[in-house]
Structure 1
Amino acid sequence: MQSLSVSLVLIAAMAVAAPLAARFVERRVKIPIVVFEILLGMLLGPSVLGWVQSTQFTDTLADFGLAMLFFVAGNEIDFTSIRGRPIMRASAGWIVSLAAGIAAGFALVSAAEAAVIIGVALSSTALGTLLPILRDAGEAKTPIGIGVTALGAVGEFGPLVAISLFFSGRQLGTASGVLLGFVLLTVVAILLASRSRHTLFHSQVTRTLHTSGQFAVRSIMLILSSLVVLSMLLGLDMLLGAFAAGVLWKVAIARAPEADRTVIERKIDAVAFGFLVPVFFIDTGIDFKLDALTSSPLALAMVPLFLVLLLVVRGLPSLLAAPRGSSRAGKRAIILFGATGLPVVVAVTAIGTDHGLISSGIASALVGAGMLSVLLFPLLALRQLHARLDQPLG
């Protein structure tokens, strides 16, 4: 109990310290808060100081945080803006990325299962990390921003589908049927939600928006937990259910008054980024096997290798989603944004190590490369966008 109490206090302290650290350095360079959360977890965790330990309770909170992160990603996607050419070309690029990633995995390891884990991790794009960056930079509604949103939507949903197929009994036919059943159930729910007027639902949301009833937040937790549990019962990855829950909620609340939707979005951000998501990233840092990197020169060398592979495997195919008439700088930005990946990398490598499919060294190297991609690639991409002096290539 004492260990849990100390861990909870230190995790809360790290969650407070992370945005302060980000603000302290933002005059020189703008670093995403998630980087500080992971680094602080590593610093205070067993890898360095050993002041805080992961417990079953904090691990459960971290799982909720990861689910909430994917809920937010599903909820924030504007499907009307990415439908058609953006999503089709982003999907084609992701298929190329997955094939290239698995091929790269086979070049690095001999085991087929480990190669698939590496390939799925390398084919991801961190939509939940990129959307706030695009919004803050005023690029979310631009053609580049729409293209990146499409890349991120496919780059988070695609790996979840792939890993669910891979782990659903390792029987492709059965797994495909289960996945198809889950998708059909979700689609039916979304269609019903989109066609209903939800008059009573919206009125209850409005009545309790500023009271202790908080019907909207409670409904979100019900939808999220229901689809997460359903996906787990079906043998699918829980993040698939979390992502679907975000999409379902977006449709269900779409016809509510705009003022109410704005308040609800703020409440979602408060629950997600004020509480649960920081716990996930801090816990990731606490569980990070730094000794697996430092004790193995090969594992350490894999960090820059995986970082380059993210650019090649995920970044270059992302060019398929570049808007028509993009400049050279715009295309370079698309490559960098597409190659930014961390949450799916963390989730996939955790699954791989839990099942004994990849070593802790490879997992740590992949996560380390994901951290560097979040640290470097968005910054470099924004510089490209702010210096669009090249002529469009068409």
Structure 2
Amino acid sequence: MRTQVAIIGAGPAGLLLSHLLHLRGVESVVLETRSREYVEKRVRAGVLEYPTTELLREVGLGERMDAEGLVHHGISLRFDGADHRIGFDDLLGKSITVYGQQEVVKDLIAARLRDGGELRFEVSETTVHDVSSDHPRVTFTDAAGVASELVCDVIAGCDGFHGISRPSIPEAVLTGHEHIYPFAWLGILAKAAPVRDELVYTRSERGFTLYSMRSPEITRLYLQVSPDTDLTEWPDDRIWAELHARMAIDGGEQVNEGPLLEKSVTPMRSFVASPMRHGRLFLAGDAAHIVPPTGAKGMNLAIADVKLLAEAFTALLKDNRSELVESYSDTALRRVWRAEHFSWFMTSMLHLDPAADEFQRQLQLSQLRYTASSTAAATSLAENYVGLPFS
């Protein structure tokens, strides 16, 4: 087999890259270990930044997002027994959209199949070769058990943190920067109507809580827990009781309860791989970086990466210009580190560190009070939250 761009991974990054390349007249093949059904149902992040929604509309992927997505014009920081709203519209004239990652994936798969895109699901034994040459290769076994080889000009590793792309880069070349947080999130998806139309980030003496939603009928909620939490110790009634206790404010609404559709524990960590390129193998999305979900940056960073890659690959393969592929890693990492800092800022400002003393806790409250009362501080938070313009 022969193509111009081999894309490993059919998440939002890989699928959007394939779509962007198609619009520029560049061929690609997408390889994915999971089934189509699995990737279309895989629940992940749901917050789309303003630049992300603008890009999706520009490339013909905004119709269902605009019809079904929930537009949010701000968020609330809940502390000191009260809500403190950060209004994005008031400060910036911009908004975010809550639209699940799985919905973005469905839209992308439909668009690629409509346009004749080659998506290969349920492949195995995927391996990259000759990435230092002008014609790298990807070998894999297809869904029918047939061993195959894909010769290409460049490879995009969009296969997530646990994929094969990043480990394919020699350890002597790649540097990994990692920070592990001393807590995790217990997340639930509940069949319960939201009582709010914007996200609420709560800092309480019992721990952090995030109140969000996926639709007018479904809420998504998170509790700060210990990294070694056993889900069997958290029956449904305990989860609801803790949510009520942490989110309680004088005169405030209660959280609607309902059947739990999903329950999981997610560790909190930050990770950045540098550089994001080795030869003709390029990393994008979670294959290159992980952010704690507090800042809602994960999927948006992946989309920013592949926007850069689509432009760089087009310049290389159609115009024989290499400056954009040469600068890809440096350009992408500038945005990555900004997002890492913002995600760390939101996480440290809202979570209770079990090792923190009273001095540190008072500093945390001071930061929250300043952010909520200062127009300059609130604007900085809003600017980072809704998303900085693409490079």
Report the TM-score, using the length of structure 2 for normalisation.
0.26
User: Rg larger in 1 or in 2?
Assistant: 2
Per residue, is there more strand in 1 or in 2?
A: 2
